[in-house]
Amino acid sequence: MDEEESSQDDFQYSYYSDRRHVRTKPAPAQPQNTEWRIKEKLKTVSVSLVLCLNIGVDPPDIVKTKPCAKMECWIDPFLLPGQKALEAIGRNLQSQYEAWQPRARYRLSLDPSIEETKKLCCSLRRNAKDDRILFHYNGHGNLGTWLGSPCIYVYDCSNAGHILNAFNRFAAQRDAEMANHLNSTNLDGMAAPYTPLSQCIQLAACQAYQTLPMSPDLPADLFTSCLTTPIEIALRWFVLSNPLIKNVTLDMTNKIPGRVTDRRTPLGELNWIFTSITDTIAWSVLPTDLFIKLFRNDLMVAALFRNFLLANRIMRHYNCIPMSSPVLPDTHQHPMWEAWDLAADHYLAQLPHLLSNNSQVEYKLSTFFSDQLSAFEVWIKRGSISKEPPLQLPIVLQVLLSQVHRLRALLLLSKFLDFGKWAVDLALSVGIFPYVLKLLQSPALELRPVLVFIWAKLLAVDSSCKTDLLKDSGYTYFIGILTNTNPNAFLVPNISEHRAMCVFILSVFCEDYPLGKQACLSNDLLPALLPYLSDQDSLLRQWTCVCLCNFWTSFPDAKWAAYNANAHEQLSAILLDSVPEVRAGAVAALGALFGDLDRIEQVLNLEQTIVVSILKTTTDCSPLVRKELACALSRLVEEDEVKFIQTAYELFDDERKAAGFEVGRSSANRRSVESSRISGVQQSMHLIVWKAILTLSVDPFPEVAIIAMNIVDKINSLLVKSSMVDPSMNNWIQSQKAFVKPVTIAPKLKNIARKIQPTPTSVASGIFGMSIESEASPSLKRSSSFVFNLKALGSYIGIPSSGSVAHSETPGRPAPALSRMRPQSMYLPKLSSESKPKMKSSPSESNIKFTTPQTQIALTDIEDPGSEKYSERQWRSIRNEKLNQEAASLYQLVDSNRFEKFVAHIPYENENFTDDRVLLFHPYDPYLLSSDHNSI
């Protein structure tokens, strides 16, 4: 055996362990996960800052300590005259809030009266309409009636819990009253919109009966400082809590150099780290829907709740427990706070030098993000089996903002997404989608391979992402890769697989999405795809066929463009491809050309050409190809239903005469039948197609047979009710075991055909109760490709991806350096739109209808990474490959050497043993099978 034959054996072993060969049932349909999308987008448009300070007058219910906290918004109110101090504090508070939402409209109210407050609140609600209002308040009083909903309330005062609890009671009562009112109003058809007060967000500095901290080292508005200037107060508290810090004063913590928007400066990097840590804490403890509502919906709300987590940590240290509505779990001891303390310590160690006048001192960036990426990489290698969400995933999202770590973060993210649907769902829930969407605008060549892979994974799980590709013209990114013929523009070892993923993305983009199809037509997708029908890579040929099928399904303009470009001829040329998935894809694409066009002579001639081509696959050995052929012919039957009824009658009439059944018929009825007969080439085409459908109806593969049987039963039912068949003929029809006898059927298939083709209780009923939605299950598995990419993207149109290698593809080629990712699976359904006939439940309905199976992503135990069966299968594959390599050197000794080494003696308990035995060695396991000829 030479080296080529040995490689072929390795390939066959890998091929026949593919899911297509070990799975007998389709994967159950699973709904797409859309929880990560924001259902109702709200934004904060108005901010009201109401400060009831009354500088110089102590609250009557609070006894202040001496010394006591004095600073308000980092200003000592006693260093300025009363009114100027009040105005300065108001300006500072507004600037602090503007850092989080600069586009909102701000209204400042200083020591207002009740009437002024009421007028302000009513004006805010009137101008904001249905948008959210932020109301910052350091006094007491219920303002829910004036402000309405949605609204954010910030209560920074002692006993703030009283306000929150009173508001909740008021909101529950008011919502109940409005619900009763709306129910009674709906009876008159006059329903007014109402946003429940219970949806308002509240942040309170402390619980009821708690007093705010009065330490002179802290600001008097500690809660406000945590919400609006988190970095400054966090560093101040860190210094107060760590007595070992000697060379940093409290005043120095308010002099952080840099800008928030510049991540290379100390202030910008600290804010970036703080955002990453608080997002991670929230994502790890909150339900997905609440996390998205609070941290991914509104910029102002997200900033306030990030900072609220810090307030919860700091104020608990001073025996104050902040409250919120909705209620958040306690996070002040979350382990991620230790990472923040490390980053703060790293900065404070440099602070004295940074504040010096030495211009040569440079800020040393923190290693926080590189350390977290390393931790994420360790989790991918060690912790992925448990499927516990990695703590670093939100941090990876933030790292995408940095050009320094972006490529590494994307590579790790692609490895994580390669674990399957659950990993993609987690990434979408954490908010990764807007970032990877924006990265499509980047011209960086090094990002292309990993971005294409990530988008393939995202669309495999949630095809609704394609609408966002249209909004931002992101689809042109992938068309541009297909049209780029410069090999130096691709930083991947296998350009064909890289393009195959792009074609897959575009196929999902076109599936059942008319706007996407029109956009692709305008951007010349068709000429970009056609050259790849002859590519050496079978995966690229397969997905090119699928993409073409989705592109022109139910899209007349694309069908005319296909005919003008002779696409049908190029597809016909690959109907004899060596890979069954490619052949099935070509049949599906050709079948999708049927219909949607005017039945002019040119169209009929083109369709006849296609029919002649695809009928060659009637005897294809692959059931995938025959199933797509049945679906393609069903579209043709739907287009020419009347003619196929006539063809069925002519064939039935010949069978009836051969059986010797004669009935009387009126001359008018006879003339009607004779005039309806088809003649010429059209008659031959319809007859051949009908016989092909009859042959497929007794196909040994059940899914193929059922699809064809639905077509046959539908046409036969319409034939029985037509004027072509006399009522007296029903006696003969009822006497038959099956309404349509198979044209030819092998003896071994009779039992299968009998099971598939039930005897109808009546001719009209047939098998009309059946609803067939045949699903594809297997997927591609290539042992050495780009992250085993698209191995799971392969079940569209009944084309499960296989590891078939066509043309010059070499099995066992080394994996590219870019793709050091674990092989995973992501299984898709068929993408061929309208490819499966679903019969009407009532025989009175005349047209065949088609349904499109929904996206399915399902992993069986043997396909689930980390499962015992999966690990056993992976081990066995590696073991067998190693044995093949060890045995390769022995092949050349077979012809020139004798087998004389004694290994073992095989004892036989049966004394009647004869030499007429058959021995079979297992190719890999240490087993020897023995039997005689009579037992085989």
Length of the chain: 936
Residue matched to tokens 């050496």: 536
> pLDDT by residue (tens digit) across 7-31?
444 444 444 555 555 554 555 555 5
Predicted local confidence at residue 267, as pLDDT: 93
Predicted local confidence at residue 457, as pLDDT: 93
pLDDT classification of 385: cutoffs 50, 70, 90? low
Predicted local confidence at residue 776, as pLDDT: 32
pLDDT classification of 815: cutoffs 50, 70, 90? very low
Predicted local confidence at residue 910, as pLDDT: 57
Predicted local confidence at residue 683, as pLDDT: 64
In 3D, which of 106, 99, 103, 93 has the Cα closest to residue 51? 93
Predicted local confidence at residue 757, as pLDDT: 33
Q: Is 458 helix (H, G, I), strand (E, B) or coil?
A: helix
Within 8 A by CB and 6+ apart from 447, the residues are 406, 407, 410, 439
Q: Which of 373-382, 507-516, 527-536 has the lowest mean pLDDT?
A: 373-382
In 3D, which of 597, 582, 584, 583 has the Cα closest to residue 552? 597
Predicted local confidence at residue 224, as pLDDT: 93
Contact criterion met (CB below 8 Å) for 513 and 507: no
Q: Which of 172-176, 850-854, 885-889 has the lowest mean pLDDT?
A: 850-854
Neighbours of 361 (CB within 10 A): 13
Q: What is the CA radius of gyration of the chain?
A: 37
Task: Give residue 403's Cα distance to chain centre.
Answer: 26
Contact criterion met (CB below 8 Å) for 774 and 710: no
Predicted local confidence at residue 637, as pLDDT: 93
pLDDT of residue 930 exceeding 50, the answer is yes
How many angstroms separate the CA atoms of 827 and 863, rounded? Answer: 10
Within 8 A by CB and 6+ apart from 41, the residues are 297
pLDDT of residue 437 exceeding 70, the answer is yes
- The larger pLDDT score, comparing residue 51 to residue 752, is at 51
Predicted local confidence at residue 394, as pLDDT: 93
> pLDDT by residue (tens digit) across 93-122?
999 998 888 888 998 888 888 888 888 888
Task: State phi, psi for 476 to the nearest 5 degrees.
Answer: -65, -25
End-to-end CA separation in angstroms for the chain: 28
Predicted local confidence at residue 41, as pLDDT: 74
pLDDT of residue 50 exceeding 90, the answer is no
Work out the average pLDDT over 232-246.
90
Contact criterion met (CB below 8 Å) for 255 and 239: no
Work out the average pLDDT over 597-618.
92
Tokens describing residue 790: 């698209």
Residues of 607-638 as b/e, b for ≥16 C-beta within 10 angstroms? beebbebbbebbebebbbbbbbbbbbbbbbbb
> pLDDT by residue (tens digit) across 739-749?
444 433 333 33
Mean pLDDT of the chain, nearest integer = 77
Within 8 A by CB and 6+ apart from 804, the residues are 15, 538, 578, 579, 580, 581
Work out the average pLDDT over 225-242.
93
Cis peptide before 150 (omega within 30 of 0): yes
The fraction of the chain above a pLDDT of 90, given in percent, is 37
Tokens describing residue 379: 């989790």
pTM over the 0.85 mark: no
How many angstroms separate the CA atoms of 46 and 135, rounded? Answer: 9
Work out the average pLDDT over 268-295.
93
Work out the average pLDDT over 606-619.
93
pLDDT of residue 826 exceeding 70, the answer is no
Predicted local confidence at residue 682, as pLDDT: 54
Neighbours of 125 (CB within 10 A): 18
DSSP calls for 58-105: --TT----SS----BTTB-GGGS-HHHHHHHHHHHHHHHHHTT-TTSE
> pLDDT by residue (tens digit) across 748-803?
333 323 333 332 222 222 222 222 233 332 332 222 222 232 333 333 323 333 33
- The larger pLDDT score, comparing residue 859 to residue 832, is at 859
Task: Give residue 72's Cα distance to chain centre.
Answer: 48
Predicted local confidence at residue 914, as pLDDT: 56
Predicted local confidence at residue 923, as pLDDT: 82
> pLDDT by residue (tens digit) across 438-461?
999 988 888 999 999 999 999 999
In 3D, which of 228, 224, 252 has the Cα closest to residue 238? 252
Predicted local confidence at residue 357, as pLDDT: 78
- The larger pLDDT score, comparing residue 646 to residue 727, is at 646
> pLDDT by residue (tens digit) across 673-690?
454 454 445 567 888 999
- The larger pLDDT score, comparing residue 555 to residue 936, is at 555
> pLDDT by residue (tens digit) across 526-581?
999 999 999 999 999 999 999 999 999 999 999 999 999 999 999 999 999 999 99
In 3D, which of 664, 639, 557, 560 has the Cα closest to residue 847? 639
Tokens describing residue 361: 């001192």
